[in-house]
Amino acid sequence: MSTLDTAMTKEERAMSETRTRVVPWVISHRGQASSGSVIREITKRLQRLPDAISFAGGLPAPETFPVDAIRECFDTVLRREGKRALQYGPSDGYPPLRAWIAETMSVDGVHVSPDQVLIVSGSQQGLELLGTLLLNEGDAVLVETPTYVGALQALALHGAQFVSVRSDEGGLIPSALAEAAQNSTRRNAFLYTIPSFQNPTGNTLSEQRRIDLVDEAARLGLPIIEDDPYGWLDHQGTRRRTLHSLNPEGVVFLGSFSKILSPGIRLGYVVVPATLSARLERIKQAADLHTSMITQMAIYELLKTGFLDSHLPVLRQLYRRKCDAMIQALGVHFPAGATWCRPEGGMFVWVTLPEHLDATALLEDALDAGVAFVPGSGFYANAPRVNTMRLSFATVSVEQIETGIERLGRLLAAKR
C-alpha cells in the first residue's frame, strides 16, 4: 500500500476507483445500417504484406503531392494572417476559396455565385450532408451499376434504398432511367452518378449521353447529384461539360481537391441551386462547424497563383503512362475471355473475367502471390457480378504494373 492510499479515507478511495459496470449500449437503426468497405479490409491485410504490389487502393500517386508548394503556402498564411487562420471560421467556407470555385464552375454560359458554394471536408462529407438534406428513411436513390462504395455507405446511413440503373461501357444509359424510376416502389429522391472516369469502371459519359441524361432526369422530375472527383484527370486534357453546366437548377455538383492536390488535406466542395444553400450550410454547421480554415487559406494561396495550370498536365501525363502500361500488360498476360476498356482518364481499369471465375476467390491466391486488387462485387448496390475486378494503376510503377499483371495472368490461366 502506498503512503497516498494510507492517507485516503475509505470514501475517498471509493471515489477514486474506476467503476466498471456493464450498461446496455443500444445501437440505433442507422448505426446498424453502417457497412464496412471491402477496400478497407484489403488495405488492412496489405499492411502485413509490405512488398505486395497493390492495384487495390483508390489512392492518388504520392509522388504528385506538391509538398514544397503546400508547405510554402501554409508558411505564407501563418506569417501573414496566422491568428485568423487558427481561429474558428464561417461554416460555408473561406470566402476567397468559394469565389475561386464559383469562377471555375462558371463555364458554358452558366453563372455560379459564391453563395452557392459550400466548402466541405472532402466530397465524402458532401455526400453525408446531402444525405441529411435530401433523404428520408426508405427513400430510393438511383445509382449506376456498379458505383462508388463510399457513396453507398454514406447514403445507406440515411436510410437510402438503392435502385440500379442499367449502364454499359459508355456509362449510365439515359433511356434506362425511366424504367428504373418506375420500378422503384418508393419516393425517388435523386440520381447519384459519376459521369467522368467513374469509380470503379473508369467509364465516361459522352456529350450526347450527358444531354440525354439531364433531359430525361428533368422530365422525370428527378434531381441529380453529380460526383466529379476525377473530372480534372482526363489523360489527354480534354474538358467535358458537366451535368451541372447543362442544368444548374437540377444538379448538385460535388468537387474535390483529393485527386489533384492531396486527399490528406480533406478539401472538397458542393455547388447547389441557390434555394438549397442556406439549409445545407446549417447542416454543415451542425456536423463540424466548419472545414479547417488554415487548410482552406493555404490551398487558396496555391490555387490563386494558377498552380493547377502547370500541375494538371504533369498528373495527366503520369496517369496516361501508367494506364497505357496496364492496358498493354493486360493484353499480353490476361487470358482470352477477359475483357476491359481503356479509360479516357482517372485511375481505374475495370476487368470482366470469364463468367465461371469468382474474383473474390482469386484475391486469396493473388495475395499469396503478392498482388492485390479489389473484387468488383462490393461496388454493386444490387445483383453483384462476381467475375469483375477493379485495378488501380495510380500508386504503382510501370515495372510493378508489368510484374503484378503477369502474376495475376498466371493465376487466371491456372483456373481455366
Ligand X SMILES: Cc1ncc(COP(=O)(O)O)c(C=O)c1O
Mark the segment that binds ligand X (CB under 6 A) among 27-35, 256-264, 321-329, 376-384: 256-264
Query: Which helix H or strand E contains 54, and what residues bound it?
Result: strand 53-54
For ligand X, which is the closer residue by CB, 329 or 381? 381
Angle at which helices 293-303 and 307-333 pack, to 10 degrees?
Answer: 90
Distance CA 345, CA 151 (A): 20
Which of 57, 89, 131, 150 is in the footprint of ligand X by CB under 6 A? 150
- What order do you get walking across the sheet with 374-375 strand by strand? 339-340, 348-352, 388-392, 374-375
Q: Could you say whether residue 227 binds ligand X (CB under 6 A)?
A: yes
Q: Which of 94, 148, 197, 373 binds ligand X (CB under 6 A)?
A: 148
CB closer to ligand X, 89 vs 202 = 202
State which of residues 146, 229, 250, 404 lies at the interface with ligand X (CB under 6 A).
229
Taking CB under 6 A as the rule, does residue 223 contact ligand X? Answer: no
How far is residue 230's CA from residue 389's CA, in Å, rounded to a whole number? 19
- Does residue 124 interact with ligand X by CB under 6 A? yes
Angle (CA) 88-86-271 rounded to 5° is: 55
User: Per CB under 6 A, does 263 bind ligand X?
Assistant: yes
Instruction: For the CB of residue 348, give the shortest distance to ligand X in the complex, in Å.
Output: 9
**156, 159, 161, 240: which is closest to 198 by C-alpha?**
240
- Under the criterion CB under 6 A, does residue 258 sit at the interface with ligand X? yes
Q: 412 with 353: CB under 8 angstroms?
A: yes
All 3 cell numbers of residue 245? 453546366
Residues in 310-369 at the binding interface with ligand X, rule: CB under 6 A: none
Give me the phi and psi of 278, to 5 degrees please.
Answer: -65, -40
Residue 93 binds ligand X, judged by CB under 6 A: no
Q: Does 199 bind ligand X (CB under 6 A)?
A: yes
Question: Among 54, 91, 116, 123, which residue sits at the site for ligand X (rule: CB under 6 A)?
Answer: 123
Using CA atoms, how far apart are residues 123 and 256, in angstroms rounded to an integer?
Answer: 6
CB of 54 to ligand X, least distance (A): 15
Q: Which residues, including other chains, have CB under 8 Å from residue 1's CB and lie 6 or more apart?
A: none
Binding mask 41-60 for ligand X (x = CB under 6 A): -----------------x--
> Which range, of 116-124, 161-169, 177-185, 275-283, touches ligand X by CB under 6 A?
116-124
Among 89, 248, 268, 376, binds ligand X (CB under 6 A): 268
Residue count, binding to ligand X (CB under 6 A)? 14
Closest by CA to 150, choosing from 393, 391, 378, is: 378
CA dist., res. 341 & res. 327, Å (int): 8
Structural contact between residues 108 and 159, judged by C-beta atoms closer than 8 angstroms: no
| Contacts with ligand X, residue ranges (CB under 6 A) | 58, 122-124, 148, 150, 194, 199, 227, 229, 256, 258, 263, 268
